[in-house]
Amino acid sequence: MTEYTPHQPQGDEARPDYRLRARREFSRIGWACFAMMALAQGGALLLMLLCQFLAMAGSRGMIAFLQSEWFQWVITDLANYGLGLPVLLLMLRRVPKQPSAGRKRVTAKQFGALALVSYAVVYLTNLLGLAVNSGISALRGEQAGDLLSGMVSGSNPWLVFLFGVVLAPLLEEWVFRDILLRRLSAWGEGLAIFGSAFLFGLFHGNLGQFFYAFAVGAVFAYVALRTGGIRYTVLLHFLVNLLGMTVSQAVVDADNPVLTALFGWCLLAVVAAGTVILWRHRKKVRLRCGGIPLTEPEKRRLFLGNSGVIAMIVLSAAMMLYVAFWY
């Protein structure tokens, strides 16, 4: 496989050139994500207003749609992937991307281990999100806002399964572990994993979700790099969302103490097994630098210190604060 390298000057004189090119490409990626998120939020609002206008004008079909459980899910996905995604793709046309690595198969045993690790990472890092939300709740004097929990708990389970368990993994993996990861991987696998996972966490726009989205995004990015595609990460994402959004909500809705206790013990067993696997294999993780004459700290500083990524951070932080304190 031929690796993309932005330029090939020799010696120390190469470093300023790489820094300039890195900052330019990272900034374009940041602005593309900013545009997608801004259009997703603004577009959803405009679509809702349009639907309300049509309903007020007497459209019976629109009135029924507004009152249906489908409404919020459909509007959200239309705004994200019908409005925001095309703009992201347009803005990233000039950012070079790495060719896909040769596809590697994963055995059933390896996939099972990856599934356990993925959920362990989600569960453990979610504790940090819960702690942050608890602090916000104490400051606010009431429960901190959480968009996802509200949508999941108030929706038909089949809608949650369709939009949250099937469509979300397919589309999110394509965006973050294919479109973005392949454009960042030229700068080394460490930066690609960090950058794509960081943007994945920011894109959720929810402080409670940021930590586990970042952590599991890093796991998925590593798997995508090692297997040369997103087919396994889509399945892993599917399983994580299935357990976290559909199965867990079904247990809550059942309101059965025995079932709740059994489910809790099963989760602890999954987390314990995943943690042990992750710890035992931690030294086997090797990341390729990509042939770029910059240190990993330099790459991260360049990634975080440009106008596009800073704009994305500000937009996401504003969304997180709004949801946490005023939603």
Length in residues, the chain: 327
Residue 303 confidence (pLDDT) = 97
> Phi and psi dihedrals of 282, rounded to 5?
-60, -35
- State pTM to two decimals: 0.90
Residue 252 confidence (pLDDT) = 87
Structure tokens at 309: 């990524």
Give tens-digit pLDDT for 3-60. 445 444 444 444 668 899 999 999 999 999 999 999 999 999 999 999 999 999 888 8
What are the residue ranges in the chain where pLDDT is below 70?
1-16, 144-147, 150
Across 279-294, b (16+ Cβ under 10 Å) vs e yields: eeeeeeeeeeebebeb
Residue 151 confidence (pLDDT) = 73
Q: Where are the domains of the chain?
A: 107-326
Structure tokens at 41: 């939020």
Residue 15 confidence (pLDDT) = 62
Residue 150 confidence (pLDDT) = 67
User: Letter for the amino acid at 18?
Assistant: Y
Neighbours of 245 (CB within 10 A): 23
Say how far apart CA 117 and CA 265 lie, in whole Å.
17
Structure tokens at 100: 């896909």
DSSP string for 216-268: HHHHHHHHHHHHTSSHHHHHHHHHHHIIIIIIHHHHHHHT-HHHHHHHHHHHH
Residue 9 confidence (pLDDT) = 41
Residue 293 confidence (pLDDT) = 85
